[in-house]
Each structure stands twice: as structure tokens, then as C-alpha cells.
Structure 1
Amino acid sequence: MIASDLLDVRVLDAGGTPVGWVVDLRFVLDGPPDGRLAGARLHGLVVSPRTRSSFLGYERSRVRHPWPIAPLVRRRHRGTFLAHWEDVARVPDRDDGTDPEREPVVVLQVGYTRYTAGL
């Protein structure tokens, strides 16, 4: 799987209720060294309930300018949350033999936790 397989994909809870779209991925660098840096590991998915667009870097809590872009982007993404990778039950798979016309979805596990998406 590559990152673009997850971005802009609809997210459902375990009961099939839509909760938003994947707008970003969060990685942590805690794997075995790969050159000078530690290897990256997928930590979770950033899910926005209102829009499919990116945060454009405005999820960082100290970014306030240029005004009025920063507050507008934050307002558009209100309710956005981070779902840890362990809370993901199912992801789209291009090679699973299902109908290619069917919309790919990410399904979250029962009892998943919504963490703050801000950095």
C-alpha cells in the first residue's frame, strides 16, 4: 500500500456511519535506523468530517498567519481528529478482487478513540 491509497478516502465507523475523509497521515520515526534517520512507521490517520482538502500546514497550533487564511482553514477543519492506526479495522485494497467501481473506504474499529489532530 502507498500513501495515496489512503488519502481522500471516506472513513466509516464500525456501524457504517460516515465520519469523514482521510486528509493526512501521521508518521513517527521510531523504527530501526535507515541511514541517518530512524525508519518511519504509520501512527494514524487524520480524519476531517467536513472537507476532503488538506490542512496546508495550519494544523500546527502556533501558525497564525497569514490572516485570514489560518482561521478560515481551522474553521473548515473543525472536528478533525486523529485515529490511531491500531483503531483501523479495514483499509481499501486494490487487489482484493472487489468491484473497481465501488468507492474505497476505511473502516474504524468499534470503540475507536478520537485524538486531537493538532501538532
Structure 2
Amino acid sequence: MTANPLYAASDEILGLAENWLDQRRTAALATVVGTWGSSPRPVGSHLLVDDAGDMMGSVSGGCIEGAVVEEAKQAMKDGKPRLLEFGVTNEDAWEVGLACGGTVRVYVEKLVADQ
């Protein structure tokens, strides 16, 4: 595992997701799918979350992580994917701490093990 699990490589995060699913753990994956302007993490960055609160990766370096984790928890419960957008024009952006001046779009989905 990487020295800093916040900035783990995609293959490490996806490998851990596979392990969690093999263990029948409930998990969700958040992926940065778009950015505009200043953004702390590039497109393709991942945050993996399980229902026990374990995490690996980052979609923002911390500024929107809390909001994304809450949406991941909801996705694990209802199975519905979400497309989130955070930016300085979004009133919620300041509440979650996104003050970098850009926009970040994050896709959140519940992971399902092969049957």
C-alpha cells in the first residue's frame, strides 16, 4: 500500500475495491469526471469508501471529501449513482470548503460484486 492512502494510485484503489467486494463488504467509488479551472485533483482521481467508514484515495485533497463521503454512504444504501458538482458559484461549495476557484464534477456509484 502507498505511504499516503489519500494519494494512492488508481490501481491500488481499484485493487482494494476488488478485495472489499471479494470480502462481501459494501463499498462505493467516487471518481473525478470533470474539472474546470483550479482543481486539487485531476480527472480520474478516485475515493473508495466502505460502509464501515474505511477510505482510500481522494477526489479533492480534502476540501469536498466530507460531502462526497456522505453521498457515497447514501449511494451504498439506495444503489443510485450520483453526479455531483462543486464550484465557487455553488452556494454549497463554500460550506464544504471548495474555495480553489474551479469546478469539480464527481461521479459516485455503489460497487456490486460479480454474482
TM range (shorter): under 0.3
Q: Which structure would you say has the larger RCO, counting Cα contacts within 8 Å and 6 or more residues apart?
A: 2
**TM-score w.r.t. structure 2 length?**
0.26
Between Structure 1 and Structure 2, whose CA radius of gyration is higher?
1
**TM-score w.r.t. structure 1 length?**
0.26
